[in-house]
């Protein structure tokens, strides 16, 4: 972590401690945003940190944003933070101008029915916080290119839904809706960016689950001693610690230079780490962890919600494998050792 990043981490951790607690998590399951959290984020320029300085941002890197999101993931902070941060950057890169409020973001592989700026029989699945945002951004693939579509929430018919963590993910339909649109570069690069940022959030939640489980194992007593003194519990937590450390190093490598190969690897490795975090942290917690009241599920349900976001774990495994299949036995190792350093095929 560089100096800026240490500063970002301290800042976001302070904000989270002040504004996100049990009440905010509960309210999010009633479709209410943590207002105080987001107003401080906006005030501190964090939602717009990815914008260049001349358009009102601070020119932060995606790696800097990953620091923010790792901490937000650890706190299980609800709301479209990742979406707003990246959507701001999308708006700026495509020349569609800045937005003031929060933004939602989805990626789609095709937009049938879109002609010019008029979109007929439009359908969007799993749109985060569609009722709480100023604009809904859609990154639509056409070949390798991305087309950015910007729409008004009011133009859609909304069927409320939610993800495994209880945060809003809505089904939006419209017989016809007007969108503003512009080309915004390479689709896969934007998907990679979103995926890497989600990885940071997943990592944060998984790290929290490990830490909490270790603490709990040192508090809870059975058979006259702390359960952490039992070798079976120690072995489970040691295994989880390995998963988390491995996932953390590869996510950091991915965040550092946003290389597509490392991002794909991070999402794949993190998939296994998230599964282990869910299984082991709950096992260590016994029935308590299964209650809604106890905080563990706010993290593990986010792991469930996020694990396959912005490209599923299996999608990223296929992407990763394609970087290496077709290589000779002699060329395979150099490709592994140089991964992240070279332009992908």
Partner 1 sequence: MSAANLYLERPALTPAAEDLREEVRTFIAEQRDSGALPPPERIGLGFDVDMTQRIADRGWIGLTWPRQYGGQERSALERYVMNEELLAASVPVGAHWVADRQSGPVLLKFGTEEQKRFYLPQIASGNCYFCIGMSEPESGSDLASLKTRADRVAGGWRINGRKIWTTNAHRVHYMIALARTSPAEGARHAGISQLIIDLKAPGVTVTPIISMAGEHDFNEVLLEDVLVPDEALIGTEGNGWNQVSAELAYERSGPERWLSSFRLISELVDVLGADTQPSTQEELGRLISHLLALRQLSLAVAGMIEQGKSPNIEASIVKDLGTKFEQEAVRVARNIASAEDLVGNGRAPRLRALLMHAQQYAPAFTIRGGTNEILRGIIARGIGLR
Which residues make up the interface to partner 1 (CB under 8 A)? Answer: 207, 210-211, 214-215, 217-218, 228-229, 231, 233-235, 237-239, 241-250, 252-253, 256, 261-262, 264-269, 272, 314, 316-322, 324-330, 332-334, 336-337, 339-340
Least spacing, CB of residue 224 vs partner 1, in Å: 17
> In this structure, what DSSP letter does residue 168 have?
B
**C-beta closer to partner 1: residue 139 or 254:** 254
**C-beta closer to partner 1: residue 157 or 249:** 249
Least spacing, CB of residue 306 vs partner 1, in Å: 17
**C-beta closer to partner 1: residue 70 or 169:** 70
Residue with tokens 């990885």: 199
Phi-psi region of 97 (alpha: psi -120 to 50; beta: other; left: phi over 0): left
Cβ-Cβ contacts under 8 Å for 108 (sequence gap 6 or more):
124, 138, 139, 140, 141
Helix (H) or strand (E) holding 253: helix 231-257
Query: Residue 84 and residue 172: Cα distance in Å, rounded?
Result: 19
* 228-264 core/surface letters (b: 16 or more CB in 10 A; e: else): beeeebeebbeebeebbeebbebbbbbbeebbbbbbb
Least spacing, CB of residue 249 vs partner 1, in Å: 4
**C-beta closer to partner 1: residue 62 or 111:** 62
Least spacing, CB of residue 9 vs partner 1, in Å: 12
Least spacing, CB of residue 276 vs partner 1, in Å: 11
Residue with tokens 């998590």: 25
**C-beta closer to partner 1: residue 182 or 327:** 327
**C-beta closer to partner 1: residue 116 or 225:** 225
- What's the burial of 179, exposed, middle or buried (CB within 10 Å: 0-12/13-18/19+)? buried
Nearest to 190 by CA among 251, 105, 272, 127: 105
Least spacing, CB of residue 20 vs partner 1, in Å: 20
């Amino acid at each position: 972590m560089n100096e800026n990043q240490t500063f970002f981490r301290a800042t976001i951790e302070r904000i989270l401690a002040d504004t996100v607690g049990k009440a905010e998590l509960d309210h999010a399951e009633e479709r209410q945003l943590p207002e105080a959290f987001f107003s401080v984020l906006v005030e501190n320029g964090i939602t717009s940190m990815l914008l260049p300085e001349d358009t009102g941002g601070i020119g932060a890197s995606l790696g800097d944003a990953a620091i923010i999101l790792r901490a937000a993931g650890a706190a299980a902070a609800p709301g479209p933070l990742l979406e707003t941060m990246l959507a701001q950057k999308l708006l700026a890169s495509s020349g569609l101008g800045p937005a003031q409020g929060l933004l939602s973001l989805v990626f789609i592989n095709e937009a049938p029915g879109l002609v010019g700026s008029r979109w007929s029989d439009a359908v969007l699945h799993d749109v985060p916080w569609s009722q709480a945002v100023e604009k809904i951004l859609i990154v639509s693939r056409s070949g390798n290119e991305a087309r950015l579509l910007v729409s008004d929430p009011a133009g859609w018919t909304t069927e409320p839904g939610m993800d495994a963590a209880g945060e809003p993910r809505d089904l939006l339909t419209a017989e016809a809706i007007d969108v503003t649109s512009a080309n915004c570069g390479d689709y896969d690069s934007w998907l990679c960016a979103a995926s890497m940022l989600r990885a940071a959030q997943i990592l944060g939640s998984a790290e929290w689950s490990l830490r909490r489980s270790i603490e709990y194992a040192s508090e809870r007593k059975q058979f006259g001693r702390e359960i952490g003194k039992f070798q079976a519990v120690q072995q489970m937590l040691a295994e989880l610690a390995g998963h988390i450390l491995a996932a953390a190093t590869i996510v950091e490598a991915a965040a550092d230079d946003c290389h597509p190969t490392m991002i794909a690897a991070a999402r794949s490795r993190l998939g296994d780490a998230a599964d282990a975090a869910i299984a082991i942290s709950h096992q260590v917690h016994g029935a308590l962890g299964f209650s809604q009241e106890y905080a563990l599920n706010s993290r593990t349900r986010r792991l469930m919600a996020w694990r396959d976001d912005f490209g599923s774990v299996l999608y990223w495994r296929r992407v990763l494998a394609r970087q290496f299949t077709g290589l000779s036995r002699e060329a395979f190792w150099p490709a592994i050792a140089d991964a992240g350093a070279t332009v992908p095929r």
